[in-house]
Chains A and B, each alone.
Chain A
Amino acid sequence: MERFSSLSPTSKDRSLSFVKHPSIRIDINYRELLLHEIRYELRKMSALLLESLRAWWPETILSFGALGVLLLGAWVRPAGPSKATSNGGLFAAETSTTSTRLFWIASGVILVASGVALWFSPTSPDSETFFGLIICDPLSRVLRWIALATTALVILMVVDSREVVSHRRGEYVGLLLLIGLGLMLMAEANHLLMAYVAMELVSLSSYVLVGFLDQRRSAEAALKYLFFGALSSAVMLFGMSLLFGLTGQLGFPDILQALMRPVAGSGALMMVAVTFLLAGLAFKISMVPFHMWTPDAYEGAPVPVAAFLSVGPKAAGLALLLRVMTALGPRWPDLEPLILSLTIVTMTLGNLVAIVQTNVKRLLAYSTIAQVGYLLIGFSVNSNLGLQAILVYLVAYMFMNLGVFACAVAVVNDSGNESLEAFRGLAQRSPVLAFLCTLFLLSLAGIPPLLGFFGKFLLFGAAVESGQIVLAIAGVVNSAVALYYYINLVRLMYLLDPQQARPLHLKLPLRLAVVLCGVGTLWLGLFPNELVALLRGSSFISLF
Chain B
Amino acid sequence: MLSVLLLCPLIGMLVVLALPKTAVRAIRFVALLASGLALAFAIQLFQFFRPQEAIQLVERIVWIPQMRIFYHVGVDGLSLPLVFLTVLLGFIACLASASITERQKEYYALYLLLEMGMLGTFMALDFFLFYVFWEVVLVPMYFLIGIWGGGRREYSAFKFFVYTLAGSLAILLAILMLYFRTGTFDMVALAQMGPLLEPDLQRLLFVAFFLGFAIKVPVFPFHTWLPDAHVDAPTPISVLLAGVLLKMGGYGFFRIAYPICPEGAQWAAGAMAVLGMINIVYGAFVAMAQTDFKKLVAYSSVSHMGFVLLGLASLQTEGVNGALLQMFNHGTITGGMFLLVGVLYDRAHTRDLNAFGGLGAHMPKFSGLLIFFGLASLGLPGLSGFVGEFLSLLGAFGVWRWQTVVSVLGIVVAAAYILTAIQRVLLGPPNERWKNLPDVNPREMASLIPLVVLILALGVYPLLLIDLQDGAVQQFIAHVKGP
- Residues of A participating in the B interface, judged by any CB pair closer than 8 Å: 427, 431, 442, 447-449, 453, 457, 460-461, 464-465, 472-473, 476-477, 479-480, 483-484, 487, 490-491, 494-495, 527-529, 532-533, 536
Contacts and interface: CB of A to CB of B under 8 A. Distances in A.
Contacts of A447: 135, 138-139, 165
B64 A532 contact: yes
Contacts of B169: 476-477, 479-480
Interface in B98-146: 106, 128, 131-132, 135-136, 138-139, 142-143, 146
B172 A529 contact: no
Given A479-B165, A480-B165, 19 more contacts: A427-B106, A447-B138, A448-B132, A448-B135, A448-B136, A457-B172, A461-B180, A464-B173, A464-B180, A465-B180, A480-B162, A483-B161, A491-B146, A495-B147, A495-B154, A495-B157, A529-B64, A532-B67, A533-B66
Interface residues of B, number: 33
A461 B175 CA distance: 9
Interface string B57-84: 0000001111100000000000000000
Contacts of B176: 457, 460-461, 464, 472
B361 interface: no
A533 B139 CA distance: 29
A interface SS class: helix
B399 interface: no
B172 A460 contact: yes
B147 A460 contact: no
Nearest to B65: A529
A491 B173 contact: no
B465 interface: no
A477 to B, nearest CB: 8
A494 B66 contact: no
Contacts of A529: 63-66
Given A447-B138, A476-B169, A480-B166, A532 B132 contact: no
A494 B146 CA distance: 9
Nearest to A466: B180
A442 B166 contact: no
Contacts of B434: none
Contacts of B63: 527, 529
B144 to A, nearest CB: 11
A472 B131 CA distance: 17
A529 B68 CA distance: 10
12 contacts: A448-B132, A457-B172, A460-B176, A461-B180, A465-B180, A473-B173, A476-B169, A476-B170, A477-B169, A480-B166, A491-B158, A495-B146
B64 A464 contact: no
A491 B154 contact: yes
Interface string B145-172: 0110000011001100110011001101
B289 interface: no
A536 B165 CA distance: 30
B40 interface: no
Contacts of B179: 461, 464
Contacts of B146: 491, 494-495
Contacts of B161: 483, 487
B172 A476 contact: yes
Contacts of B135: 447-448, 453
B131 A487 contact: no
Interface string B426-467: 000000000000000000000000000000000000000000
Nearest to A476: B169
Contacts of B142: 487, 490
A230 to B, nearest CB: 41
A536 B180 contact: no
B227 to A, nearest CB: 20
Contacts of A449: 132, 136
A380 B157 CA distance: 36
A455 to B, nearest CB: 13
Nearest to A491: B154
B348 interface: no
B177 interface: yes
A520 B165 CA distance: 24
A-B residue pairs, 9 tightest by C-beta: A448-B132, A476-B169, A464-B176, A480-B166, A532-B66, A529-B64, A465-B180, A495-B146, A448-B135
A167 B189 CA distance: 65
Nearest to B161: A487
Of the listed residues B158, B166, B170, B172, the one surrounded by the most CB atoms of chain A closer than 10 A to its CB is B172
B169 to A, nearest CB: 4
Contacts of A448: 131-132, 135-136
Contacts of A476: 169-170, 172-173
Contacts of B173: 460, 464, 472-473, 476
A494 B139 contact: no
A431 B17 CA distance: 11
Of the listed residues B154, B166, B176, B180, the one surrounded by the most CB atoms of chain A closer than 10 A to its CB is B176
Nearest to A536: B66
Nearest to A385: B180
A461 B64 CA distance: 15
B162 A483 contact: yes
Contacts of B132: 448-449
A379 to B, nearest CB: 18
A473 B174 CA distance: 11
A534 to B, nearest CB: 10
Nearest to A467: B180
B131 A464 contact: no
Nearest to A478: B169
A484 B166 CA distance: 12
Contact of A528 (B64, B162, B165): B64
A360 to B, nearest CB: 20
Nearest to B69: A529
A241 to B, nearest CB: 42
Nearest to B153: A495
Contacts of B154: 491, 495
A464 B142 CA distance: 30
A442 B136 CA distance: 11
Contacts of A453: 135
A292 to B, nearest CB: 29
B208 to A, nearest CB: 10
A460 B67 CA distance: 14
A532 B136 CA distance: 22
B64 A483 contact: no
Contacts of A490: 142
Contacts of A473: 173
Contacts of A465: 180
Contacts of B165: 447, 479-480, 483
A485 to B, nearest CB: 11
A477 B162 CA distance: 11
A460 B157 CA distance: 27
Interface in B328-343: none
A527 B128 CA distance: 13
A470 to B, nearest CB: 12
Contacts of A536: 66
A473 B173 CA distance: 8
A165 B42 CA distance: 62
A480 B168 CA distance: 10
Nearest to A427: B106
A91 B177 CA distance: 53
A487 B67 contact: no
A487 B176 CA distance: 25
A465 B66 CA distance: 16
A494 B170 contact: no
B81 to A, nearest CB: 26
A335 B162 CA distance: 35
B356 to A, nearest CB: 31
A61 to B, nearest CB: 34
